[in-house]
Amino acid sequence: MGARRFRWVLHVDLDQFLAAVEVLRRPELAGRPVIVGGRGDPAERTVVSTASYEARAYGVRSGMPLRVAVRKVPEAVVLPVDHEAYDAASAQVMEALRGLGTVVEVLGWDEAFLGYDGDDPEAFARSVQGAVLDATALHCSVGIGDTKVRAKIATGFGKPAGVFRLTAENWSAVMGPRPTVDLWGVGTKVSRRLAAHGIDTVAQLAAADETVLVGEFGPRMGAWYRELGRGHGSAVVDDTPWVARGHSRETTFQRNLTTPQQVEAALRELAAQAHADTEAEGRAVFRVGLKVRYAPFSTRTLSRTLPAPTLSLDEVTAAVLDLAAGLEPGREVRLLGVRAEMVMPDGETRGGSTPVRGRV
């Protein structure tokens, strides 16, 4: 159907998606605290991917170290991430949504935007929930908005399995007193930077002096944050298939790496994995990135644009190792990641396109 502007945007978000899929496969887990993360081993350095509402009641959150989560809920059932199962369940959900005859913009495994032009968006939202439940036995929450920003934020007020409408009409009343971190796209770091200028709430952000925001975040992001505080944004829903700009691979090591030789060996393996992902798409790499997390927990990222886009594993690996020369000597490493950014199908790169080197 392509991209269309709609009167209403609906944001559909599956409730506790990964945990819910696991409970469907293991009905005996219903009502119990379930934590999904890594290989399901709390002794390993890995984080929580999701947790059931029963586990969240104890303070377990996505991104929390798995061992910390288990200390909070010793009786929790801890399960490994099963990508294939979640891919299959997600495909069923999206198929059910497309069956409703509207534009569906997929955002990830468990969420999507839908467009609707009718007079009763709540009724349509309930039909969305029914279609997903009938097709998959999974529950979802639906946010209704007149922009994508408002629809996305509205979903949080509808959870679990509810519907909530957030528009220009009630935006100030609902969101105005709330902290800026409650906005979609504002994390803790940005909220702290806003607070340094006396901007603590959404209402204060909406009324902020744009020159102050531009001075802090730059002309594009400064203006965008002000508009975000007002709930402004696009109402266009686009079902054009998403095309990855790159592929990343990273590993958290169970024991810190302590020598340059260990770091090099790990980077060679990660570069080979990321390159294999790009090779499967038949697209050349034009930029590489390196992520390092030193012990105990400080992270740094580096990137480099290649002299020319390449299909060569050797050239990708060499560029990654060149970046690694900028790592701090003598520091123990707990995580490494490699990213390979690809030329888009239309030949676009962010730095312009040039002829592609051959495979070696």
Task: Judge whether 287 and 306 are in contact, CB under 8 Å.
Answer: yes
Question: Choosing from 105, 111, 315, 341, which is the catalytic residue?
Answer: 111
Cα separation values, 112 from 38, 47, 331, Å: 25, 25, 42
- One-letter amino acid at 327 equals L
| Cα(80)–Cα(37) distance, integer angstroms | 5
Active site residue 84: no
Q: Is residue 281 a contact partner of residue 267, using CB atoms and an 8 Å limit?
A: no
Reading across the β-sheet that carries 34-36, which strands appear in turn?
Answer: 50-51, 34-36, 77-79
Rounded to 5°, the CA angle 301-303-304 comes to: 165
- Do 116 and 126 meet the contact criterion of CB atoms below 8 Å apart? no
| CA atoms within 13 Å, Cβ hemisphere of 286 | 18
Catalytic residues: 111
